[in-house]
Structure 1
Amino acid sequence: MEISVYRDQALSSEARTLAAATYNLAHSLLARSPSGVVFVPIRSMQMLAIIDREEFVFLDGQYKSWVEIAWQHFQPQARCALDAPVPYQLVIYHPDGEKNLGRLLVEFPKALQALSGKQRPDGPARLLKFEAKRPAGA
C-alpha cells in the first residue's frame, strides 16, 4: 500500500512522553511488518495512524492525505527501564490537532491493541513431535 502524505507549516511543537506500553506495542507491530510501515485505523475517530521507524503521523479522514499530528524524534534510549515513558516531540500541523490530541492519546492504544489481536505471525506452522514416555508401572 502506498499513500502520499502532505504537511502544512507546523503550528506548534512541544516535548512530551508516550506511555511505554503504547510505544512498545507500536514497535512490536512495526517489527512484524515486512514493509517497515504499519497502518493503524482509529475507527472511533475516523483517523489513520501511519507508523514507521522515524515517526507516527495521524491523518484525519476529513482532510485525507494531510498530516494533522505527528509524534517525532522518539528517544527510547533516554529511559532507564522498558516500562518507563518514552520522550518524543509532538508536532501539530492542523488547528483540529490540538482539540483531538486528548482523545487520540486514549483511542490510539486501543486501536493498536485491536490491530495486534488481528495480526497473525507470518510464516508456516510447524508441528513439534515429542516422544511420550509412560511412567514405570503404568
Structure 2
Amino acid sequence: MEITCYRDPEISRKARHLPASTYNLAITLLARCPTKHLFVPIRSMQYMAIIDQEEFVFIDGERKCWIEIAWRNFKPQARDALDQPVAYEAVYYRANLSVIMSRLQREFPAALQALVNKTKLDGPARIIHFPARD
C-alpha cells in the first residue's frame, strides 16, 4: 500500500510525554511490520495513525492525506527504565487541535491494543533466560 501525505506549514510545537506502555507497544508493533510503516486505524475518531521510525503522524478521515498532528523527536534513550514515559514533540499543522490532541492521547493506546488483538503471531514462542544479578 502506498500513500502520499502532505503537511501544511507548522502552526505550533509543544513538548509532551507519551506513556511508556503506549510507546513500547507502538514500537513493538512497528518492529513486527515488514514494510516499516505501521497503519493504525483510530475508528472512534475516524483518524489514521501512520508510524515509522521517526514519527507518528495522524490523519483525519475527512482530509484523507493531510497530516494534522505529528509526534516527533522521541527520546526513549533519555529514560532510565522501560516503564518511564518517553519525551517527544507534538507538531501541529492546523490551529485549534488541542481537543483532538487530548482525544488522541486517550484513543491511540486503545487503537494499538485493538491492533494487537487482531494480530496473529506465527512461529514458536521462545523464552530468553537472563543471567541472575549479584
Structure 1-normalised TM-score?
Answer: 0.87
Relative to 1, partners in 2 of residues 1:116 and 1:96: Cα closer, same or farther, differing over 3 Å? farther
Unaligned residue ranges in structure 2 (runs of 5+): 126-134
Q: Which residue of 1 aligns with 2:14?
A: 14
The Cα offsets for residues 48-86 of structure 1, whole Å up to 9 and x where unpaired, read as 000000000000011110000000010000000000000
Partner Cα separation in structure 2 for residue 99 and residue 23 of structure 1: 21
Query: What per-residue deviation string (whole Å, max 9, x for no partner) do you get for residues 18-45 of structure 1?
Result: 0000000000100100000100000000
How many residues align structurally?
A: 125
Distance 1:4 1:123, change over 3 A: farther
Deviation at 1:122, TM superposition (A): 4.3
CA gap 1:96/1:40 in 2 versus in 1, 3 angstroms: farther
Equivalence for 1:62: 62
Aligned to 1:90, what secondary structure does the other structure show?
strand
**Mind listing any 5+ residue stretches in structure 1 that lack a counterpart?**
126-138
Structure 1 segments, 4+ long, off by >6 Å, are none
- In structure 2, do the counterparts of structure 1 residues 97 and 122 end up closer, same or farther at CA, with 3 Å as the change threshold? farther
Structure label with greater radius of gyration: 1
Structure 2 letter corresponding to 1:12: S
Instruction: Report the Cα offset of residue 94 of structure 1.
Output: 1.5
* Pairwise CA distance, 1:14: 1.2
